[in-house]
Structure formats: structure tokens, C-alpha cells
Structure 1
Amino acid sequence: MQMREDIFKIITSLPEKDLQHQLLEQSTMLNYDKNDVIVREGQYVKTLPIVLEGSIRVFQTKEDREILLYYVEPGQTCMMSLSAGFFNQASAIKAVAASTCTILSVPTRCIAPWQRRFDSWNSFVLKTFRKRYGELLTVFESVAFDHIDKRILDYLRHRAKKTNTRQIQISHQMLADELGTTRVVISRILKQFETDGTLILGRGTIELK
């Protein structure tokens, strides 16, 4: 990211010049390494992260297990952080850098005034809620109704399509964390998939056939 003004080549949904000026004036650009914690569960959210480069993984934890909710990609923000910041509530999620990433950190005190003042910001907020709500419904339906073997294949195929490669860099434990289950369950099902000829297991990799 060479210049702060370059952010609007990424956040294309906010074209209003006065809003862009306010964003540059009020916000801070922050860099995170992979696995850095951006938002903690129980934390009161005072800034809203808008991703400029990289991605953020948003999930909930219960005991020793995690359930992936969604990823925040460039030009997007986190609905759960938006909600917690808007209503001054403790965060119900944990957000970590899924890769090296750069974010625009927007003070939550700006959310409501900008909604009243700028049409594009209001639209950005509403579209964020609509998009993430749909994703959360998909997660709920998958957890509630799909067998774990189908969820594993769906996840791997989605990752393969997103990265444009059949070989996915992921450990059994990481896959278990993504799907909210245990490594033992993941390893057993992956081994069966390998026996069936669906995929090939490597050291830290899974290759779809």
C-alpha cells in the first residue's frame, strides 16, 4: 500500500469525496502478521476493521473447539465487530489475521453519524449485515443438517476454487478448527477419502483429484 489514497481503489463502494476525507482523517492504517489477534472475545470494540490487503478469519470458540463464521476480504468489514461497536457491546467473536494483512481501523464512534450523513456508508453498513447474515445462515445449515464428510469436501473444494489449485496447504488440526470438530474425526474421514480415491494426503497438504 503506497499511499493512503490508494485505499479507495480497494474500497470502491465509498465514492463520496467528503466521506473519503473523513476516513483518511479519522482512521489509522494497521499491519498484522498471520495469526495476530485483531479482536478478542469479550473485548469492547472501539474500532472497526476494514480490510485493505490479506484477510481476517472470524470465529467463535467453545471449550477447546472453534467454529468458523466467515472470512473478511479486501474492501469488506466484520459484521460482528460492526454490531458490537455500534451497540457498545462485548465482542462475541474472535478475529485473527488469516494472512499478513493491512486494515483501515475506523473509530466506532463514526459509524452512526456517517450513516446519517453519507449514503454510500449507510449502504456499506447495510450490505455488510445482509452479506454476513446470509453466510451465517449457511454456516448454521451446514452444522445443523450436513454430515461432517460433506462439510469437509465442500470446504476443500471452496478453498481449491478460491486459490485456483487442487493442492491445499492445511493441516488436519487447522481443518478441524475451521469446521468446529476434532483432529481425530478429520483424520479418520480424510483417510477414508484417500482410500476411496477422492484425494491425496501429504505432509501439511491435501490434494483433490
Structure 2
Amino acid sequence: MPSRRRTLLKVIILGDSGVGKTSLMNQYVNKKFSNQYKATIGADFLTKEVQFEDRLFTLQIWDTAGQERFQSLGVAFYRGADCCVLVYDVNSMKSFDNLNNWKEEFLIQASPNDPENFPFVVIGNKIDVDGGNSRVVSEKKARAWCASKGDIPYYETSAKEGINVEEAFQCIARDALKSGEEEEIYLPDTIDVGSSSQPRSSGCEC
């Protein structure tokens, strides 16, 4: 059977329930947004092909449930990750304060070979809400936190409006590529990697 060579890059998105993890993933992969909210149960993933320097990569983006009772499901999903995305809602101080917990949880569950240098990206989502008047976490505060954790790249996004989503995921893909744990996979030409990777949830986390 004919095959083509790809490199699989695994990305994990973490953050409190309701911060927009699923919406960010859907906006990036499918260019779609839904106002219907349905919490992710367990984990879902989408894939998207990206190209860097004439090489084809398959970005496998895992969206894990933010509810604490599902965190124990994470071990299998975290293993082998090439980049971890920490998402919070700029209108929720609690979701920002919990970033450190999610970061530590990831390092414990994923056990990367080089935890000090493992690539993280932080996204402050929902900058569109109420025209920005209801935000409680300033960009300065968020950037200071990222700087204190080893200069983690930081992006402010609106999954609803599509603001900075593409740019954030381009950074995520580059960082995943740099982590050096890429896995060569072989897929038959007849398989469309996008067709079988729709989320099981009918709605999304917005």
C-alpha cells in the first residue's frame, strides 16, 4: 500500500473548565466557533497538517477535560506530548491562578525527559468579552508570570473572533517541533487524517 512520511507532533491543551480550550482547537483546525457550551468528557483530539521548511507535520491536538474529576484520566494522554498549552480566561482570576497547578500536574503526569526545558505556551483567551471591559487579569500580570516560569511564550486570543489563534498555534507547532521528541508515522494515502478526528462532543467549550 502506498504511504507518505509524516511527523506526528502531540500537543496537550490544559486549563480550567470553560476557559475555551475546545473553542480554540476548533477555531484553529476547522475555523468554526459555536456559542453552545458542552463540557469535554475525558479527552478529544483534532489533527491538522502543518508545513515547515518543506516538511509535512501532523499536529495532534488533545483537549482534556478541565473538571477535576477527570484529571486522573490524564496520564495516558499526557505521555509523549511535545508541547503543553496552558489556557486561562482573562475575565477569570481563578483560571489564571490555576495555571501553575496545571503546569505542575502536566510535569508530574507526562514525566518529560527534560522538565526544565519542556516547551509550554500560555494563552489568555476571551479578550473579546464585553469589549474587554470585564477582564480582571492584565496582560502585564500574565507576561510577568510567564517570564518568571522561564520566559514562556504568551498570546492573548479570542476563539470567538479568531483573534491571534493562528499565530498562537504556529508558535505551539514550532515549539513542539523543537522539543525533539517527534515520532515518525506512516499513513496510507487513502486516509484523510482530518476526517476521523472530529471531537466526540457535539458542542464546544466557549
- TM-score normalized by structure 1? 0.26
Structure with greater helix percent: 1
- TM-score normalized by structure 2? 0.27
**Rg comparison, structure with higher value:** 1
